[in-house]
Structure 1
């Protein structure tokens, strides 16, 4: 993998080694020196030495090994497609788009470049967090992208989520109407919460099935689309999502709760939140289009360890 850069003014008339070690700190000075001496670095297309003087505008090229792909789950499924749209069931632990180490290890790159056949025109309409599984919509042309994104902006898209929560709710169904805003950051981590001056947020919350002694499967229908809305509302109800590192119990409390359950299973490696159904107005076929995503395998397995009689079919939303 060839990586190139131009020398900036601050490194003008400095040794090449100073430039590389000072600007690209992901490798030590000794590592950069070894690469130069191995012939992996050129300056303006010519072999370079560690202490040759570089000037502003010089083109430095480095032949670096391909970085290993991050450990992600690429087992996505196409659950709907036509000539205008794609519907994907995204697994947990997969970003929808990439940067840095995740330049290739993301949904959009895989669809455009590695899928058979590829979908080079695929463009994200909506997004899910890396650790949320379920329905992701993609457009195959710019007109479709624009028209469906308008539906999301105008809140005419209906979505249903499933979540596994801590605790056994005392209610069957309720609508949460609590404003959400950003909380003060802690060690650079931004969280959201119920705050008096936050933005209006509403979620319908329904218990599908309790899993005694201390879990429940929940259906969520958001009426608004605030950041972390479902996670914040469930935490505010006293029933945070299993595996949610931002809004759930501490790691020690989390593990202690599993030990109290008498279960030998480990907590999920991500938050147990899944977008099970999305309904839009198809801009070309002029009809409602409902896309379903079967419950993610890791969540299903987690529930089966609590109650082996559980069937994923119990969690399916009602057909639209």
Structure 2
């Protein structure tokens, strides 16, 4: 049971789920289950969490842009956009809504919890809908900065598909395959997502005796884990990425409740991906709007 819960609900480590089971907070068919219980098809599993404590987060976000319809925030690299998993109140949306200046905040797009940089919210549902439509129609120019292991090409365009990665022990991990490679798959995925990203190297250096590259990323599409999965599949994993980094064992140790040395294993404590700018034509004023975010201090020089 503890293995099943840790693999299915990764917001708790296996050791945490084991402790929860030992406290009698997981019921199967209405009765407390032991960690060693073998899950069977048709089991009705009930979780009674009781009082819980959320992980600490970085709350030093700042306002980059604000008008009557939108607010743009510089998100730190350790806070989720919205309520999910262990983060019920400790998330950017809830924290903004606690500010008396903002009655209600509407999510338009998302960044992964460990991705820092520009994120825009609507102040009303109409504003959120109009800008969300621009994102979906690919009329928002997005620029990210990433740091990856290896000597990246000067320029590269990756167009293809994102599919599941059956070779990985991490259930939610994805991989990028080019259009040509996708046609040659023996068992093609039923619902692959198209994706396209252009990359341009803008710097390089050495870390732990290994070369790394600083790369601009220009995603044309906006898929889950698009940049991270593409870089990993191209052979240039992001520094600090627990899932798509050079050692996915760090993530497996993490969900087991261990405390892996992320600096030595991955080069950073969090994934080196930063949303540096968004450019769009304002849906209400018609003015070309550019919002920028400076590179975080925890990134390499």
- TM > 0.5 between the two? yes
The within-5 A match list for 1:152-231 is 152-169=135-152, 171-184=153-166, 189-195=171-177, 196=182, 197=188, 198-212=192-206, 213-231=210-228
Q: Tell me, in whole angstroms, the C-alpha distance in 2 between the residues paired with 1:279 and 1:242.
A: 26
Runs of 4+, deviation exceeding 4 Å: 185-188, 263-266
Alignment partner, residue 239 of structure 1 = 236
Q: Alpha carbons of 1:185 and 1:112: their partners in 2 closer, same or farther (altered >3 Å)?
A: farther
Unaligned 5+ runs, structure 2: 1-19, 26-49, 183-187, 251-262
Q: Shift of the alpha carbon at 1:296?
A: 1.7
Alignment partner, residue 87 of structure 2 = 102
Q: Is the 8 A contact 1:96 1:107 kept in 2?
A: yes
Of the three residues 106, 121, 129, the one matched with 1:146 is: 129
Instruction: Give yes or no for the alignment of 1:75 onto 2:65.
Output: no
Partner secondary structure for residue 298 of structure 2:
helix
Partner secondary structure for residue 194 of structure 2:
coil
Alignment partner, residue 120 of structure 1 = 103
Q: Tell me, in whole angstroms, the C-alpha distance in 1 between the residues paired with 2:193 and 2:84.
A: 30
Q: Tell me, in whole angstroms, the C-alpha distance in 1 between the residues paired with 2:236 and 2:169.
A: 25
1:241-299 deviation per Cα after TM superposition (whole angstroms, max 9, x unaligned): 1011222212689xxxxxxxxx9898321110001001122111111111111112211
Q: Shift of the alpha carbon at 1:100?
A: 5.3
Alignment partner, residue 295 of structure 2 = 295
Aligned length: 233
Unaligned 5+ runs, structure 1: 1-24, 31-63, 254-262, 305-320
Of the three residues 92, 113, 120, the one matched with 1:137 is: 120
Partner secondary structure for residue 163 of structure 2:
strand
- Note the aligned Cα RMSD (angstroms): 2.8
Partner secondary structure for residue 102 of structure 1:
coil
1:214-244 deviation per Cα after TM superposition (whole angstroms, max 9, x unaligned): 1111000011122211112212221111011
Q: Is the 8 A contact 1:178 1:233 kept in 2?
A: no
Q: Tell me, in whole angstroms, the C-alpha distance in 2 between the residues paired with 1:100 and 1:229.
A: 21
Alignment partner, residue 285 of structure 2 = 285
Q: Alpha carbons of 1:102 and 1:118: their partners in 2 closer, same or farther (altered >3 Å)?
A: farther
Partner secondary structure for residue 109 of structure 1:
helix
Which structure would you say has the larger RCO, counting Cα contacts within 8 Å and 6 or more residues apart? 2
User: Whose Rg is larger?
Assistant: 1
